[in-house]
Structures are given as C-alpha cells and as structure tokens.
C-alpha cells in the first residue's frame, strides 16, 4: 500500500471488520461484567423464569409484554404463575428489574430475548403471528450493538427467512450491526430437578460473530451453553427433542390400547421393561398430549418438510395416535357407565385434574379440556377438581363457567363417574377410591384390578 493509499485508508476510519469486532467485544464485555441490560419479550412460563434468572445473575432486566395485567402484577411484585414465588419477583424488583408494555424501550437494552407463543392455525400449519408481530414492534427501536435471540419453537429457517430480512430492511447488517441468534427454550414447569440455570442452552447464530454474542449472552446466566453451527441447526434441535417425546408417547399409547384389549396392565409391563439397564427408556401413556410443545411442534417440521418434497409419515402417525387418545378415553367412560346401566347423557362426571401435567397450573393444550368438551357434547354434566386451577381460566378456544370442586366425601359420592385425567400429588386417592362409584384412571395411579377402577 502506498503512502497516499495508507493515508486515505486512515481517513476512511475503521474497516467493517474492525467495527464489527469492536462492537462485539464491547457487547461481550458488558455480559461478562454484568453491565448489560437484558430485555425479555413475553413474560409467560418461559420468559418470566428467564427474567428472574438474569436478575439473580446480577443484571438489570426489562420484561416486555402486551398484557398490561401481567406488567402491573410484576411491577407490584405479584406472581401469576403458581410455581414462581412473589419473593423471587420482589427480589428482581429490588435489583432494578421491571416490566413494561412500551416496546419503544427496547432501545434501552443490550440483549432482546423473544419468548412468545408459536401455535398452529386451524389447518395445523405454523402460526408465526406472535413472532412476526413482536419483531415488527421491536425493529423501529433496535440500535447498533444489540443481540436479538429468538427462543420460541419454530421450523428450521424461521430466524434466517423471517427475522433477518425484517431487521436488515431497516438498514442494519446482521453479524455487523445487530447480532441474531436462535436458542430454543427448554423450560419444564414444575420439574424440581431442573431449573433455568442448570438446563444446558443450545445456541446457533446467523453468523459466527452472532454465535459468539449469543454464547456470551447465555453463558452469563446459564451453567452450560452448547453452540451449534447455525440458527437452522438450533431450530431443528428443539424440534427433534419434542418429536422424540411425541413419537415415543404415541408408541406407548398404542401399546396401551393393545394391552387393554389383551387385558394386560400396561403399567406393569412398562415397569418391568424399565428394569433393563440399557436400551430402554420408559414412557407413560395418558389421555392425550398436553403443553405448548409436544402436541404442536412436530407439525412445524411436518409443514416445513413438505417444502422439500418430504412426507413425515412416522411423525404424522404418532400425531394421529396421540390426537385420538381423548376419544378413546371417552369410549372407556361410556363403557364404564354402560356397565352400570347409565349412559353418558345425563351422567354427572367429575374430571380430576385439568392442568396438562401434574402439580402445575399450566392449561396449555390440556387433554383434560378436550375430554370435558367431548363429554359435554354428549350430554354429560361436567365438573372438575384441580387445586392448581381454582377457576376455569379464560382460553382462546375453550370455555367452561366452572370452579374447582372440593373433594369431600359427599362430593365424591355425588358423581356417577370420576375421570382421573391429571394425577396431582395433592389428591387423596384413597379417599377418592373409597367413595367413588367408578373411576376411569388414565394415569395408572391405581394398581392392579380394583373393583371400581377402570384403567384407561
């Protein structure tokens, strides 16, 4: 390089590579010394624990949500999720964290982590409206030097094909001005063995620089970060985790139907098989799939695979089996009532447990609600008991004007049938079995062949 060329280069200022490195180094340093401000968008079962984790790690956090009720409760140190204590929220508030519905404040943060729902539409196709609406609300307020991470489960390519163009349409260059990553959520509400901090965090970046920014973001609050080569690899990792569960649950649900026809206790078989110290992992049947992930996520991959001319037969077969389980349970209910000279129509049926899994208040995609709707459509008089859900919540697709029934002796005796749908630990199963006319047990709570228990 000549002297004049060298002087011209100096006059032009830092190169793109130098500016990128400087921005990235500054950002990484902020995460390492805990001076970065973290933004969490979506304060539900994923976002709120993440907000609290970053607060405990020493960061100031701004939580964003479109529901003003959630924002107000958090700013008043109140919890709206059963397993999250108000004490932990109060701690975060004392340490400078807050909630806001004002998305213009996204310019104040150094990292934005998006944790919003990704449901299916009526045609079982991906509904990205929550993600895209969030990104479009954030983009006008982005600034150079931020990292944006998507945690919402979605199909491979979403981060590159949907988020990146929206960010770059505002003049930013991903990997130089803004660092974009995908890091799938791995929350398991109510699981006492794993917390946000101790669950390894997979992270893939849109560029190597993005991946470095994402690793720095999560390593500051999570014990182990697992980098992968791209956002697409990270997106597919989450789908594989959930499809693995969905397929194996579909298998065990089919085995339950076979065992029932052969008059064999499937739980006895599972427990015996589980004594094998290698090559077998126990999965347990139930009345259907629940939660936001397992019933939905496989269909994200099924939809995307069609764009590549692929038919996901194995995944779709498991989905069909799992989707049919509520109807199979209702048939067992009808049969149990028929054996006692009653029909479903006009019978009083109590559903035990309406959360999607034991010991939580999470109602997302709960199979109990599907059971209630089918039975109501057949003319049954429906009630429920769930200490974690004292009042049936407002839901987008389901409505019951009901409150949880206290399980007194008189209440139990008043029902024609009790359907055990979710096996909360707080239920007095001895009392229920003693006073119930008949129980349909979908969770294998009751052993053997009791006189008034029907396995389902």
Catalytic member of 203, 210, 211, 293: 293
Q: Which two tokens stand for residue 116?
A: 């919003």
d(Cα 344, Cα 265) in Å, to the nearest integer? Answer: 25
With 0-12 / 13-18 / 19 or more C-beta atoms within 10 angstroms meaning exposed / middle / buried, residue 81 is middle
What are the C-alpha distances in Å from 22 to residues 15, 16, 29, 151?
10, 10, 11, 26
d(Cα 124, Cα 316) in Å, to the nearest integer? Answer: 11
Name the strands in the sheet holding 453-455, side by side, starting at the edge strand that comes first in the sequence: 381-385, 348-352, 417-420, 439-441, 453-455
* Backbone angles phi and psi of 352, in degrees to 5: -90, 110
Which stretch of DSSP H or E encloses residue 248?
A: helix 231-261
What are the C-alpha distances in Å from 208 to residues 17, 169, 175, 214?
13, 21, 8, 10
Q: Which two tokens stand for residue 22?
A: 């400087």
d(Cα 273, Cα 284) in Å, to the nearest integer? Answer: 12
Q: What is the per-residue DSSP string for 105-133?
A: GGGG-SEEEE-----B-TTS-B--HHHHH
Q: How many CB atoms lie within 10 A of CB 450?
A: 12
Range list of β-strands (E), 42-165: 60-64, 98-100, 111-114, 146-150
Q: Identify the CA nearest to 357 among candidates 49, 155, 70, 82.
A: 82
The answer to whether residue 210 is catalytic is: no
With 0-12 / 13-18 / 19 or more C-beta atoms within 10 angstroms meaning exposed / middle / buried, residue 62 is buried
- Provide the pairing of β-strand 178-182 with 201-205: antiparallel
Is the alpha carbon torsion for 73, 388, 285, 418 positive or negative? negative
Supply the residues annotated as catalytic: 293
């Amino acid at each position: 390089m000549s002297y004049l060329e060298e002087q011209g280069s100096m006059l032009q200022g830092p190169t793109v590579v130098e500016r990128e490195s400087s921005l990235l180094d500054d950002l990484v340093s902020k995460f390492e010394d805990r001076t970065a401000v973290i933004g969490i968008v979506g304060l539900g079962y994923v976002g709120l624990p993440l907000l609290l984790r970053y607060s405990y790690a020493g960061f100031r956090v701004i939580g964003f949500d479109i529901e003003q009720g959630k924002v107000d409760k958090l700013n008043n140190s109140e919890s709206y999720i059963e397993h999250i204590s108000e004490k932990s929220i109060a701690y975060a508030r004392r340490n400078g964290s807050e909630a806001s519905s004002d998305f213009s404040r996204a310019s104040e943060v150094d990292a934005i982590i998006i944790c919003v729902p990704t449901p299916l539409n009526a045609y079982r196709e991906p509904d990205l409206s929550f993600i895209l609406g969030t990104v479009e609300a954030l983009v006008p307020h982005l600034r150079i030097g931020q990292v944006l991470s998507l945690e919402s489960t979605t199909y491979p390519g979403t981060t590159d094909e949907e988020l990146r163009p929206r960010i770059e349409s505002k003049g930013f260059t991903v990997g130089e001005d803004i660092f974009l990553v995908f890091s799938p959520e791995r929350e398991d509400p109510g699981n006492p063995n794993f917390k946000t901090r101790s669950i390894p965090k997979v992270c893939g970046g849109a560029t190597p620089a993005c991946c470095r920014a994402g690793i720095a973001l999560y390593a500051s609050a999570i014990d182990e970060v697992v980098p992968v080569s791209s956002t697409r690899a990270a997106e597919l990792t989450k789908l594989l985790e959930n499809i693995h569960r969905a397929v194996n649950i579909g298998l065990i649900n089919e085995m339950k139907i076979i065992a029932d026809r052969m008059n064999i206790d499937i739980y006895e078989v599972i427990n015996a098989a589980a004594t094998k110290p290698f090559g077998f992992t126990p999965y347990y049947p139930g009345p259907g799939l629940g939660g936001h992930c397992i019933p939905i996520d496989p269909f994200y991959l099924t939809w995307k695979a069609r764009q590549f001319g692929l038919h996901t037969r194995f995944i779709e077969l498991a989905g069909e089996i799992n989707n049919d389980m509520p109807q199979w349970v209702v048939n067992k209910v009808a049969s149990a009532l028929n054996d006692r000279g009653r029909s479903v129509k006009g019978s009083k049926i109590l559903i035990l447990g309406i959360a999607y899994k034991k010991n939580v208040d999470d109602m997302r995609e709960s199979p109990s609600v599907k059971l209630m709707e089918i039975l109501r459509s057949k003319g049954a008089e429906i009630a429920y008991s769930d200490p974690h859900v004292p009042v049936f919540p407002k839901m987008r697709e389901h409505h019951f004007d009901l409150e949880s029934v206290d399980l007194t002796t008189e209440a139990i005796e008043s029902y024609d049938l009790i359907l055990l749908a979710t096996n909360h630990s707080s239920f007095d199963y001895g009392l229920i079995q003693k006073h119930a006319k008949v129980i349909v047990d979908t969770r294998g709570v009751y052993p053997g062949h009791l006189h008034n228990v029907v396995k389902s």
